[in-house]
Amino acid sequence: MPHTGQCLCGQVRLTVDGEPLGARSCWCRDCQRIASGSATVNVLFPEEAVHYEGEISTIRMTADSGNTVERGFCPQCGAQLYSKTIEPAGMPMRVRAGTLDDPELMAPSATIFVDSAPAWAVMDTTLPRYSRGLDSPLLEESA
């Protein structure tokens, strides 16, 4: 069975004919703007498995990682749909968990860009927490 999803207003629909490769929460500053002050929660899929129907607006930006990313959102309701890396190529596509019909399809297994999280952020300390991207230093388990 494919995984399905939609934006807030239903104008954009999503079908994924593949299984998630992982899921993580991202506290980079751009993501906090995207996620209304929270971390984005992203379910990773191979890009070729993800199919959208409907009108999508896109914007390309240089992310805090230094990568060039394309972020997609619904032009009608503003719901954030995905982020994909244009350069370097070959990285999994990040589908925003809230757009999946089953937002609990996969629980986050790591937290990234913890350095830029607000002081009030609550994180699961049993998961690996990276100061920035996945190649950055891990935070020590809290005592």
Partner 1 sequence: MTAPYSGSCNCGAVTVTISAEPVWVRQCWCGQCQKAAAGSATNNALFATDAMTVNGDVAWKGYTAASGNTVEQGFCPSCGTPIFGRNSSRPSSWVVRLGFLDGDHDLKPTTAIWLEEAPEWAMIDPALEQFTRQPPPPPQAP
Binding residues vs partner 1 (CB under 8 A): 7-9, 25, 30-42, 57, 59, 61, 71, 73-80, 96-99, 103-104, 107-108, 118-120, 122-124
Cβ proximity to partner 1: between 77 and 138 the closer is: 77
Q: Kindly state the smallest distance separating residue 29's Cβ from partner 1, in Å.
A: 8
Q: Kindly state the smallest distance separating residue 90's Cβ from partner 1, in Å.
A: 23
Copy the structure tokens of residue 32: 């906090």
Copy the structure tokens of residue 94: 């990040």
Q: Kindly state the smallest distance separating residue 31's Cβ from partner 1, in Å.
A: 7
List of E strands, 88-142: 93-96, 111-112
Question: How far is CA 21 from each of CA 11, 32, 56, rounded to the nearest angstrom?
Answer: 26, 23, 24
Amino acid residing at 22: G
Cβ proximity to partner 1: between 49 and 73 the closer is: 73
H or E element in which residue 52 lies? strand 50-53
Cβ proximity to partner 1: between 18 and 118 the closer is: 118
